[in-house]
Amino acid sequence: MAAVQVSEAEKVYILHGIRDDLRVDGRGCEDYRHMEIETDVVSNTDGSAKVTLGHTAVLVGIKAEIGKPRPMVPDEGYLEFFVDCSANATPEFEGRGGEELGTELSNTLYKVFNNKHSVDLKSLCISTGEHCWVLYVDVLLLQCDGNLYDAISVAIKAALFNTKIPRVHISADDEGGKEIELSDDPYDCMRLNVENVPCIVTLCKVGHRHVVDATLQEKACSVASLIISVTHKGTVTCTRKVGGGSLDPESIFEMTEAGKRVGKALHAPLMKLLQQEESLGKKHQKVGFLG
Amino acid sequence: MLKSKTFVKKTRSGGVMKIVREHYLRDDIWCGSESCSECKQESTVLQRDACIESNLCPYAHYLIPDTNVVLHQIDVLEDPVIRNVIIVQTVLQEVRHRSAPVYKRLKDIIHEKEKHFYTFTNEHHNETFVEREPGESANDRNDRAIRVAAKWYSQHLKTSKSDPDGLKVVLLTNDQGNKEKAEESGLLVYKCEEYIKSLIANPELVDQLALSNDDKNEITSSKMLFPEHLPLSRIQAGIKSGSFLQGTFRASRDNYLEATVFVQGEGEDSTEGLQNLNRGVHQDVVAVQLLPRDQWVAPSSFVLQDEGAAKDDDAEEEEDRVLRISAAEAARKPTGKVVGIIKRSWRPFCGMLNVSHIKESTRHLFTPADRRVPRIRIETRQAATLAGQRIMVAIDGWPRHSRYPNGHFVRSLGSAGDKETEQEVLLLEHDVPHQAFSQAVLSFLPKMPWSITPEDMVKREDLRHLTVCSVDPPGCTDIDDALHCRELDNGNLEVGVHIADVSHFIRPGNALDKEAANRGTTVYLCGKLIRAVTMFFFDFIRMAFSCIWEMNHKAEILKTRFTKSVINSKASLTYAEAQMRIDDTTRTDDITKSLRGLNKLAKILKKQRIQNGALTLSSLEVRFHIDSETHDPIDLQTKELIVFVCAMLSFQHTTVHLVIRETNSMVEEFMLLANISVAQKIYDEFPDCAMLRKHPAPPPSNYDILLKAAKSKAVEIHTDSAKALADSLDVAKVDNFPYFNTLLRILATRCMMQAVYFCSGMDSDFHHYGLASPIYTHFTSPIRRYADIIVHRLLAVAIGADSTYPDLMDKHKQSALANNLNYRHKMSQYAQRASVAFHTQLFFKSRGILNEEGFVLFVRKNAIIVLIPRFGLEGTVFFDTKDKATPNLVFDEEGPTLKVEQHTFCIFDKVKVTISLDDSNIQHQKIRMSLIDPVIPGVSVPAPDVEPQAKKPKLDR
């Protein structure tokens, strides 16, 4: 991933600062950078959201398509993830440079989001064993400035909130053939319940302490970080360690607790913001990508 | 300003797709009104003094119709009275989506300058674009868009400073809800009926109003006569599952309670009884459900005509019962009932009005000329004027409780019996496109005077030095072929056929080409000619497509080549002139030599062809001598035509111009040869997409009647092959009966199949039975037939003289085109026959009653069909007329013979009949024949006095 070169002196400066709960940009250890969210930014998706976190920018688009349910869970739909590391984000992604990171990210996202505890997959079922909605979640990295997971998870949650799936009716004819009928009102849509959709909090171990929403410089000083997905109730649904270094059990516990706390606090304002945006309706002017 | 339109669509594979379209809004869309000073428009459409005298709107106003008004009342909108109408884009789009024919008519009106129809692109106008709101249906949104546009107009016209009185706009809608909403927002709005009725000067427009469904409660009693039609979705499901069958509804000509449904691949099903027919109209695509086997019936031989104005239901049940009883057990056919209509094929029908007995009534029944179409109930105030006229009526709908469909008056064609009117009727009824060519079509004609440019010469061979001449019937204007023949240095002969290069002028895909493709063929009526292609004038120097053979003196082809060329016709001769030159031994000029060479070769070719089994059949053609002033036929003459089958079935100029001479057959012979050579060439080059013509061999059962007839005179006819047939026809002779051979050939003609165009990639049987040629096409008459133009194009591509285009190489498109040409061809022949029949009637009308000798051509169960050689007329002598007691009839199918009392009729019997015109039914006038000789008591009639009645009408004038 995009790495920055940090000199020894800088490292010491950052480490000492974090030790005293004061980071280079003035934040505390559990503070996020400035975050901007806008939904419904791509008109030809069923749901989309753009999130900027510091200089990190991600765009998530969700397309709903009709597919066949997985044989093990015939009454559920499912999500598919694809992360595109655009070379816009950093020159390292050029060519196939971003592929590895993309796969890693999409695998993690799949683990976090594609389960019935996070998203109500049963509501995506159209007819048991035959048709279900498949949500293709496409993540596009526009700019990398650290803490991709958190930004992506927030964007996914916002995009799922924004997703409008056209309502379909199954009409069965006399001899059992099923026909999918589409409502001719484009406003007649199904919305997803995103209450339980978790957000990911990445905690970076820097020195003896850990920080939330690490910048690239801070990341360079860290050897390992922990990814925790937390629901609005504070339930941890998934944890994962990334990075080359090791973590001792005690700090894992500490970091989990901190992640729960931060994650729980993240949901409420996010939902409030999304509802507020929704209530503005169609009339309000979009900021878009040039704003 | 950019907006996006979003909608969700179902894909073919069953998926669901969200589609987003960008939609640009502009601020430079003008209102099109003459009185507006704000809009910076270059030209205006709507007039300043837009006055239609109306009770409701005494002020100048523009009309804005909504979609349903346009769809249903297009006949009214087409009326010249209705002017200054704003067609909102929303309406235009909806109309386009809902009905292609109405859309085309609407477009035509808009293009007409005098109508002052303006299209306002409200969907792209900054101020009138509306977005669909949650919970709003697409229709509601469109209605709102129309209202917003109307509102904008009314405000816009009010503010324009130049006009203090202010023009107003009037919204026309039939939708109650829409009307109320429009009134709320302060618009002037009327129902279409209200508005049209308010027009002071034009009360006749009311008749053209289509009846809308809201009016149904007034029409008849509430009793439901018909079962309900199923919704389309259930029909489709039923067809998929096989419980319903889809087919074309074909009403019976003779029995209005009977119809057959032609199901693709399954043959025919009959449906019977008013209930089961369930409002199907001839040619509709319907879904039928088969009845259980015990309810199947046989097609009855009863002739039931719907005579009564409005029979009560008891009488109908009676008729139904008659039908049931008549069904013989063995002859039962699958019988079903119509459960739904998949596609209506209602067109305006020609016919006449049955004026209601009640004087003040405005509802009348209309009887279409086509007996297969039910009567139509229409509303008109001009019944008195329309009685006795041929009129057109369109069907608007057929409610369940109504015995007849409801319709409205479209236009009057003129008084019945009038020549112009009748011609119009038969063109309309045979679906012959006969309107004048539109300006768009004419614009593609070559500019006169045209000359040959050097570019034209690049791919053309200069053959101007050859002694080319054309030989045509006298008075022929479509000179499109020419011939030459010369001796080469090696002693062989070079023969060339030069056909006008029409495809050089008609380029694929332009309006002229499309029009010609649609019309397909030129239609020849008595005294009138409806062209497929507008006229070109080819003078002596002209561009041609040449087919040139090198032949030896035995007429064997050594070399064939095709080229586009420029020729210089040295002479254009009539058949008679050409014959005279050939016969005149003193003449030794180039033209005559060339003609002699051609004549010699043609004779050999003809002999060869006949040896191969080409058929020579016969038919009688009628030719009218038309009075030059009144255009009434004053005399008619028949020519016995000995023509080749190809010519007869495809009606080339032989049948039209009726000359039998050597020279005629000389030209014909080389045309056939050219057609065959070209067919071979294009098929070799394009095995998948060559446009060819075939004439299938008739199935053996077709010959039954011919064989039986011949046997009755102890003559044997062989039908194993075309050659056998031709040979046995040649030797078939009976002493003292010189006309026998001709009669036999006439009968043989009736056994033949129709020759058809087809695309070589879609068929495997190419054989032309009549010409005994393995392959054939039409190349020689591109001015008359569109098929030849396609063949020209194919050949031009094959020899590298022209470029190709996608449709030419698409065998499905070619096949569709061939189907249209076949259809047009068939209809043009029907129209031609109908035209001859009509003129025959006119002739007999002026002649009064005639006594004539004739021959029995067919014998039927209750009648004989008699051919009068003198007039080429065929008529039926019925033995079971309504007003007389039926004589004792014994029909023997083997003979076939019919024994009437004591006398037995066989085919070829000589009889004497009287001919008169039966005009009791003005719509279906017919020639009536009755028997004079042999005398059968109670059947035959005494020979009437035929004295100079014929002269009388002339003296009166």
Once rounded to an integer, what is the mean pLDDT over residues B9-34? 81
> What pLDDT is recorded for position B96?
87
pLDDT in tens, A179-192: 777 777 778 888 99
Fold (topology level) of B45-202: Rossmann fold (3.40.50)
Interface test with A, best of B2, B16, B130 (most A CBs within 10 A): B16
Residue B647 pLDDT exceeds 50 = no
> Given pLDDT bands bounded at 50, 70 and 90, which one contains residue B320?
very low
Q: Verify whether the Cβ–Cβ distance B8 to A186 is below 8 Å.
A: yes
> Given pLDDT bands bounded at 50, 70 and 90, which one contains residue B453?
confident
Q: Is B1 on the interface with A (CB under 8 A)?
A: no
Q: Is B458 on the interface with A (CB under 8 A)?
A: no
Q: Verify whether the Cβ–Cβ distance A46 to B14 is below 8 Å.
A: no
> What pLDDT is recorded for position B308?
41
> What pLDDT is recorded for position A148?
92
Once rounded to an integer, what is the mean pLDDT over residues B897-907? 79
When the pLDDT of each residue in chain B is averaged and rounded to a whole number, the result is 77
Cβ neighbors of B16 (< 8 A, separation 6 or more) are: A64, A65, A66, A166, A168, A180, A182, B8, B9, B10
Fold (topology level) of B228-299+331-345: OB fold (Dihydrolipoamide Acetyltransferase, E2P) (2.40.50)
Q: Verify whether the Cβ–Cβ distance B18 to A166 is below 8 Å.
A: yes
Do the Cβ atoms of B819 and B532 come closer than 8 Å? no
Choose among B16, B131, B135: nearest Cβ to A166. B16
CATH 2.40.50.690: which residues of chain B?
228-299+331-345
Q: Which residue has the higher pLDDT, B493 or B888?
A: B493
> What pLDDT is recorded for position A3?
67
Q: Is B572 helix (H, G, I), strand (E, B) or coil?
A: strand
DSSP annotation of A33:
-
CATH code given to domain B849-933: 2.40.50.140
B322-355 residues labelled b (16+ CB within 10 A) or e (exposed):
ebeeebeeeebebbbbbbbbbebebebbbbbbeb
Classify the C-alpha dihedral B564-B570-B572-B573 as positive or negative.
negative
> What pLDDT is recorded for position B811?
86
CATH of B346-416, one of 2.30.130.10, 3.90.800.10, 3.40.640.10, 2.40.50.700: 2.40.50.700
Q: Verify whether the Cβ–Cβ distance B241 to A166 is below 8 Å.
A: no
The neighbouring-strand residues paired with B565 are B461, B544
The CA-atom distances, in angstroms, between B591 and each of B324, B526, B594 are 73, 34, 5
Distance CA B393, CA B75 (A): 10
Residue of A nearest to B19 (CA): A44
Residue B533 pLDDT exceeds 80 = no
Q: Domains along chain A?
A: 9-279 (3.30.230.70)
Tens digit of each residue's pLDDT, chain A (291 residues): 556 888 999 999 999 999 998 998 899 999 999 999 999 898 889 999 999 999 999 999 999 999 999 999 999 999 999 999 888 888 888 888 888 999 999 999 999 998 888 899 999 998 888 889 999 999 999 998 889 999 999 999 999 999 999 888 887 765 566 777 777 777 888 899 999 999 999 999 998 899 999 999 999 999 899 999 999 999 999 999 988 888 989 999 999 999 999 999 999 999 999 999 888 877 777 787 776
> Given pLDDT bands bounded at 50, 70 and 90, which one contains residue B794?
very high
**From the CA atom positions of chain A, what is the Rg in Å?**
20
Interface test with B, best of A68, A174, A191 (most B CBs within 10 A): A174
Distance CA B634, CA A161 (A): 88
Shortest CA distance to A139 belongs to which of A186, A96, A103, A183?
Answer: A103
DSSP string, B430-489: TT---SPPPHHHHTTSPPSSP---HHHHHT-EEEEEEEEEEEE-TT-----EEEEEEE-T
> What pLDDT is recorded for position B957?
33
Q: Is A9 on the interface with B (CB under 8 A)?
A: no
> Given pLDDT bands bounded at 50, 70 and 90, which one contains residue B858?
confident
Q: Which residue has the higher pLDDT, B273 or B420?
A: B420
DSSP string, B670-709: HHHHHHHHHHHHHHHH-TTT-EEEEBPPPPGGGGHHHHHH
> What pLDDT is recorded for position A63?
93
Shortest CA distance to B874 belongs to which of B835, B913, B827?
Answer: B913
pLDDT in tens, B715-766: 888 887 778 888 888 787 777 777 787 788 778 877 888 888 998 888 888 8
For tokens 């200069």, the residue is B462
Choose among B15, B19, B135: nearest Cβ to A66. B15
Q: Verify whether the Cβ–Cβ distance B10 to A43 is below 8 Å.
A: no
The neighbouring-strand residues paired with B461 are B565
- How would you write B925-954 as a 3-class SS string? CEEEEEEEECCCCCCCCCCCCCCCHHHHHH
pLDDT in tens, B77-89: 888 888 889 999 9
Q: Which residue has the higher pLDDT, B221 or B698?
A: B698
Distance CA B345, CA B282 (A): 8
CATH 2.40.50.140: which residues of chain B?
849-933
Q: Is A68 helix (H, G, I), strand (E, B) or coil?
A: coil
Once rounded to an integer, what is the mean pLDDT over residues B856-864? 79
Most confident listed range (B28-42, B175-189, B322-336, B632-646): B175-189
Q: Which residue has the higher pLDDT, B944 or B148?
A: B148
What tokens does A10 get? Answer: 């800088």
CATH 3.40.50.1010: which residues of chain B?
45-202
CATH 2.40.50.700: which residues of chain B?
346-416
Per CB-CB distance under 8 Å, the chain A contacts of B6 are 43, 186
What tokens does B902 get? Answer: 């004591």
Q: Is A40 on the interface with B (CB under 8 A)?
A: no
> What pLDDT is recorded for position B202?
73
Q: Which residue has the higher pLDDT, B655 or B373?
A: B373
Most confident listed range (B195-204, B768-777, B879-888): B768-777
> What pLDDT is recorded for position B535?
57
Distance CA B425, CA A108 (A): 78
pLDDT in tens, A30-43: 999 999 999 989 88
Q: Is A65 on the interface with B (CB under 8 A)?
A: yes
> What pLDDT is recorded for position B321?
43
pLDDT in tens, A131-161: 899 999 999 999 988 899 999 999 999 999 9
